[in-house]
Amino acid sequence: MLDALTATRFHRRMTRGRTGPFLLEGENGAGDTVEVIAKFTSAQLPVEGLVREAFGALLAADLGLPVPECYCVTVQPDFVAAVTSSHPAEGAALAAAIPIGFGSVKLPPGFVAWMPERPLPKAMRHTAAEIYAFDLLIQNPDRRPGNPNLQSKGDDFAIFDHEMALVTEGVLFWHPPWEAGRWMPWGRRRSMSSTRPCAGTSPTSPDWSPPGRPSTLPGWQPIGQRSRSNGLPPRTWRTLRTPPSTSCATFATIFAPPCGRS
């Protein structure tokens, strides 16, 4: 559950970010002043996006991932009026939004955006793998080299911005990752899906073909009669079948240069 925070001071609107978040100060239930990066509804961020943002942050925190503390931020009419008097454009944006938004605590000094060319230290690989798995679980497409939505300080990560996660409508061939067989290695899944028998036939039969595919399809052979390498050079096939090191398997969408094995 998100703790409540009432906005008390406006600093500025952030210059980066598709959703145009605000840097605010607010007072929580204990009376403490907290500085947050707050998002409110707009043409770029519908209320569903705020819900996904909150759900992603809460799930990440529950899983022990390095996500900043989050709040449900409320802006009162007098606060909006005060912002409008000094910053008309920002005040108009707040006035047009739902007066309840999502805020994450501003990271302390020393955290910087992750650079794609930076080597991944061994001490950070385990956490990087967990973040990568988390993005797969929530179908988050918004952590990429040009926009990692991730900062680091020393060996510590901090992740944020999950409003684009959990959107699967219209995604071709998408299946829930918790369904049986969805986490099989690619090669095994391909072998199983391309050799599923039809009723009354056997995949080892010379005249059998996968559903919807003619037995005369060029290059296709029944299982047991074709090479497991599919024509690839032996060395290449061994490389594809060998599980990559943690550094290469994680954050493949963040770290552009190939990672070395340790």
pLDDT reported for residue 90 = 96
Structure tokens at 243: 């599980």
Backbone angles phi, psi at 102, to 5 degrees: -115, 130
Residue 61 CB-density burial (10 A; 0-12 exposed, 13-18 middle, 19+ buried): middle
Give the tens place of pLDDT for each residue, 180-199.
766 554 444 444 444 444 44
pLDDT reported for residue 79 = 97
3-state secondary structure of 53: helix
Residue bearing the bigger pLDDT, 224 or 57: 57
Of 154-158, 170-174, 187-191, 217-221, minimum mean pLDDT range: 217-221
| Mean pLDDT in residue range 162-176 | 80
Q: Which helix (H) or strand (E) holds 4?
A: strand 3-13
pLDDT category, 250, cuts 50, 70, 90? very low
Does position 124 have pLDDT exceeding 70, yes or no?
yes
How many other C-beta atoms lie within 10 A of the C-beta of residue 34? 19
Burial 92-124 (b: 16+ CB within 10 A, else e): ebbeebebebbbbbbbeeebeebeeeeebeeeb
Give the tens place of pLDDT for each residue, 6-51.
999 999 999 877 889 999 999 999 999 999 999 999 999 999 999 9
Of 85-99, 154-168, 239-253, minimum mean pLDDT range: 239-253
Q: Which residues contact 89 (CB under 8 A, 6 or more apart)?
A: none
pLDDT reported for residue 183 = 56
pLDDT reported for residue 130 = 96
Q: How far apart are CA 181 and CA 189, in angstroms?
A: 8
Percent of the chain at pLDDT exceeding 90: 53
Q: How far apart are CA 13 and CA 41, in angstroms?
A: 14
Closest C-alpha among 178, 182, 112 to residue 148: 112
Give the tens place of pLDDT for each residue, 196-246.
444 444 444 445 444 444 444 444 444 444 444 444 444 433 433 444 343
| Mean pLDDT in residue range 61-75 | 96
Percent of the chain at pLDDT exceeding 70: 68
pLDDT reported for residue 231 = 46
| Mean pLDDT in residue range 73-95 | 96
Of 59-68, 77-86, 134-143, minimum mean pLDDT range: 134-143
How many other C-beta atoms lie within 10 A of the C-beta of residue 51? 13
Q: How far apart are CA 139 and CA 133, in angstroms?
A: 10
Mean pLDDT, all residues of the chain = 77
Does position 133 have pLDDT exceeding 50, yes or no?
yes
